[in-house]
Structure 1
Amino acid sequence: MQQFSPLTTISPLDGRYNRETIKLRKIFSEYNLIKNRIKIELEWFKKLSFLSSITELPTFSNSEYIFIDNIYKNFDLHEAKKIKCLEKKTNHDIKAVEYYLKSKFVKNKFLKPYIEFIHFGCTSDDINNIAYAIMLKKSKNEIIIPYWEKISLKIKKISIRYKSIPMLSRTHGQPATPSTIGKEFLNFFFRLQRQIEKLKEIKIFAKLNGTVGNYNSFYIAYPQINWYEISKEFIKKFGICFNPITTQIEPHDYISEYFFCISLFNTILIDFNKDIWSYISLDYFKQKLKNKEIGSSVMPHKINPIDFENSEGNLGISNALMNYISLKLPVSRMQRDLTDSTTMRNIGVALGYSVVSYESCLKGIKKLYLNKKVVLKDLNNKWILLCEAIQTVMRKYKIFNSYEKLKYLSHSSNFNKKIINSFILNLDIPIEEKQKLQNLTPMEYIGISDIIVHKFFNL
């Protein structure tokens, strides 16, 4: 057998990008999924033992509850392997967890008589859906949102730093009305910030209501207990929203909402990566190169925008996975089928490619510095951009065919400032308007783009 290492894995998430994804492995690995299941099963047993209506299950002494809690606290990779061995026999992951816990309880003489209350009334998804909800909540709060806020903060700082630096805009790839560097970065900050707020608002749901969502087995055993409220209390203990209406499975709609939000953030970031790539190709931005870093294997002069390219590529893979998962999970035949089970095992993979892309993007942004000389030179040579300003003022004074006259003028092969000034001089508009237009330069024709940045950030 080949030795396992980052160099022998199939997935680059565990190989090439293993450093970037280590945080996610601590949440979405098979080991952590099993450990969450252990936690939920034990907490459910404890919850039942506190119910006075269940006379067949007593409230235990403090030492027994310490014993129960220690099963979770002392759970490690060695213990997880025991469960995987049981799963090979049962061919059922949740039943393997149940049998494992029973094997622990029989070692305690006070708990041994009550081992049948482990997994009492539950269907597999009662345990699994809570486990995944815990994992998604943790990844949202501890990984995804912090990454998003870090990226948006970097973009915000660039927007503020260059809020007044004019630049040539491009629409359809062609020279267009000027903006400022700060305003163009603000466009992305604003879009990304909206998704951050949306993700924060997305609720994570879970359920515990038996085989078809109606508490059938719970009710037949203990009809006097308000199982609806007990379930609600139990779910909320994990900081998760209670889903009161389900089939055998929690329908996963919130996971689709969760992933669609991330997918949109990623799409905006793809747009950002492509624009930065273009700005680098125009020499508007340069990249800091480490001492021994190489851009090309044969062209010594090259510094490729690889971080933004890597980010773009991994965002695409992540979105492809998340879009499939988002469309698949809400669909289940009748009460349930197992297509959701195998699909949900790839949630960490989908998020993993996002995390890799976020790291690449942050790395790329850190290398950027503005080539102000090129930015201003490129804009200063584009007198043709003032045609928009001139024809708009002409329209103000009702000059017929304003647009058409500037269109004809702009198609002159030797178009320059002198031609513009001559044209303005012959216009039938007030002298102060002529002077304003004649004094206007491409670098000054930025509208209120700098003011927009200033106002938005309350500078």
Structure 2
Amino acid sequence: MSNTAQTLPSGRVALSQQSPAIALGPLDGRYRPQTAVLVDYLSEAALNRERVHVEVEWFIHLCEQRALTGLEPLSDEQKSGLRAIVADFDAASVAELAEIEAVTVHDVKAVEYYIGRRLPGLGLEHLTPLVHFACTSEDINNLSYALGIRDAINHVWLPAARELVAAVATMARNAKATPMLSHTHGQPATPTTLGKELAVFAHRLGRQVQRVADTEFLGKLNGATGTFAAHTAAAPDTDWPETSRSFVSHLGLTWNPLTTQIESHDWQAELYADMARFNRILHNLCTDVWSYISIGYFHQIPVEGATGSSTMPHKVNPIRFENAEANAEISCSLLDTLAATLVTSRWQRDLTDSSSQRNIGVAFGHSLLAVSNVLKGLDRLDVAQEVLAEDLDQNWEVLGEAVQTAMRAEAIAGREGMDNPYERLKELTRGHRVDADRMREFIAGLGLSEDTARRLSELGPGQYTGLAEQLVDRYLD
């Protein structure tokens, strides 16, 4: 390579020419350790491997079904040999496919020729025309994407998401009885427990995980415009819809019987909406935890040797949650775009989906990275019990709700002197700090029944948490 190609106009070394390759994006660079597992399912190489897989299985299926005159089921040895083409797909295979595609200028056609090269070694050269039989490229692509997405969801994203939900749920159970001052509209409000608030997030995230787990992965194989035209022209007596249905089902997908040239991608839009919603709830968890850290409800456990700030030695920044926020937002933007774009195709086919779907792995990667960072962040948190207790003790006015509601109940029961309960507590508490003595003095002078007066006088902000602890026990699972 010439020196000119190795340098930039500024005279600096061209990093793009260095070996090994230097990544353009962070998922293949800085964050690769957290996201590399997705390469096995959603990379270009993985897509090509799935294309080979689909083509091989279609070849075998046609023989098994005797879909054409003269076809017979293959021997076990022949089927094993064909499936070995998929199992042995490696870096050399990627390179070979690239060489073929450089001539064909068509990725799926390159896969067809790649498989065809291997048939003579299996004694199947006479069946070379069966490779890609009656298929349009989209027959292979839609099934290949569905398989890759399904496996990425089941083997990567769902395990990570479930680990996160379990971690939040464990924190919720551990802190289910830890009282905490609530902040509605940012103002002191009816106390809760830290565990109950975390349980809300575990429950919300868990629902989205279940929706993702219930995804129906659709696929089609019906020709250039979804009519089985080429199929019936070649073999009019074969039940091609049934052959297609059984093949798609054999792959572990749900058959879509009515499409244009492309599978309509509606299932992808549904999946991406659920994933984006998970990301947004995760983002909400991050902002809440970040805020609790900022007011001292959580201590961050320092990482040995780590630097919080380059100039302020005392700082331990909540970077895991900030990183997760950013990556959740990027993932959502991509997932939203994919969901909006993929459900529309001009007439029977255009190629907008082809370019869009190449970014599925990026969208998944940023979501996975967000999950990874939240897990690491949660693992470095310690509940600041003393701060929570002090905050509660500084806000006795939050018992105003309890007192005025008890007064309403006594008024309904016929007790005299319980008029204007809200207004009387408003006068006591709004704009005023109320300590324990003042609140108990006020309660004693209301003329409540002995039982109610005793119960309220024994109540402090730290005990005014209702059924928070029981809600965690009863409903978190």
TM-score by length of 1: 0.95
Q: In structure 1, what is the equivalent of residue 259 of structure 2?
A: 246
Q: What's the offset of the Cα at 1:53?
A: 4.9
Partner SS for 2:27:
coil
1:324 aligns with 2:343: no
**Is residue 395–residue 434 contact of structure 2 (8 Å, CA) maintained in 1?**
no
Which of 327, 347, 350 is 2:360 aligned to? 347
Residue number in structure 1 paired with 2:101: 87
Q: CA deviation at 1:60?
A: 4.3
Q: 1:392 to 1:362 in 2, by over 3 A?
A: same
Residue 63 of structure 2 is aligned to residue 49 of structure 1: yes
* C-alpha spacing 1:428/1:209, structure 2 compared with 1 (3 Å): same
What's the counterpart of residue 3 of structure 1?
18
Given candidates 27, 32, 36, the residue that maps to 2:50 is: 36
Aligned pairs for 1:108-257 (under 5 A) are 110-257=123-270
CA separation of 1:53/1:281 partners in 2, compared to 1, >3 Å: closer, same or farther?
A: closer
Question: Identical aligned pairs, as a percentage?
Answer: 38
Match of 2:180, SS state, is strand
Tell me the residue number matched to 2:383: 370
Deviations 1:63-107 (A, max 9, x none): 443442332233222122222222222221111111222233355
Instruction: Choose which of 443, 448, 452 in structure 1 pairs with 2:462.
Output: 443
2:422 matches 1:407? no
Unpaired runs of at least 5, structure 2: 1-5, 7-16, 412-417
Match of residue 285 from structure 1:
298
Q: What letter matches 2:198 in structure 1?
A: F
CA distance in 2, matches of 1:63, 1:165: 64
Contact in 2 for aligned 1:169/1:177 (Cα 8 Å): yes
RMSD: 1.7
Three-state SS of the structure 1 residue aligned to 2:252 is coil
Displacement of 1:4 in angstroms is: 4.3
Deviation at 1:318, TM superposition (A): 0.3
Q: 1:18 to 1:5 in 2, by over 3 A?
A: farther
Q: 1:430: which partner in 2?
A: 449
Q: Which runs of 5+ in 1 are unaligned?
A: none
Larger CA deviation: 48-57 vs 142-151: 48-57
Task: Provide the C-alpha distance between the structure 1 equivalents of 2:431 and 2:208, rounded to a whole number of angstroms.
Answer: 46
Answer whether contact 1:163 1:181 (CA < 8 A) is retained: yes
Query: How many matched pairs?
Result: 456
**Partner residue, 1:452:** 471
Give the CA deviation at 1:62.
Answer: 4.6
Match of 1:70 in 2: 84
- Distance change >3 Å, CA 93–CA 397, structure 1 → 2: same
Give distance in 2, aligned partners of 1:66 and 1:437.
77
Give 1:177 shift.
Answer: 0.3
84-93 or 177-186: bigger deviation: 84-93
**For residues 47 and 149 of structure 1, do their structure 2 counterparts lie closer, same or farther at Cα, with a shift above 3 Å needed?**
same
- Match of 1:382? 395
Give 1:5 deviation, angstroms.
Answer: 4.5
Partner of 2:113: 99
Residue deviations 1:385-417 (CA, integer Å, cap 9, x gap): 111111111222333322122111113545322
Report the CA distance shift for 1:447/1:365 in structure 2 as closer, same or farther (over 3 A): same
> Is the CA contact (8 Å cut-off) linking 1:57 and 1:114 kept in structure 2?
no
Q: Indicate the larger mover: 375-384 or 42-51.
A: 42-51
* DSSP 3-state at the match of 1:397: helix
- Please identify, of 166-175 and 447-456, the stretch whose mean Cα deviation from structure 2 is larger: 447-456
Counterpart-to-counterpart distance in 2, 1:63 and 1:387: 80
Distance 1:47 1:412 in 2: 77
Rounded to whole Å, the distance in 2 between the matches of 1:390 and 1:61 is 82
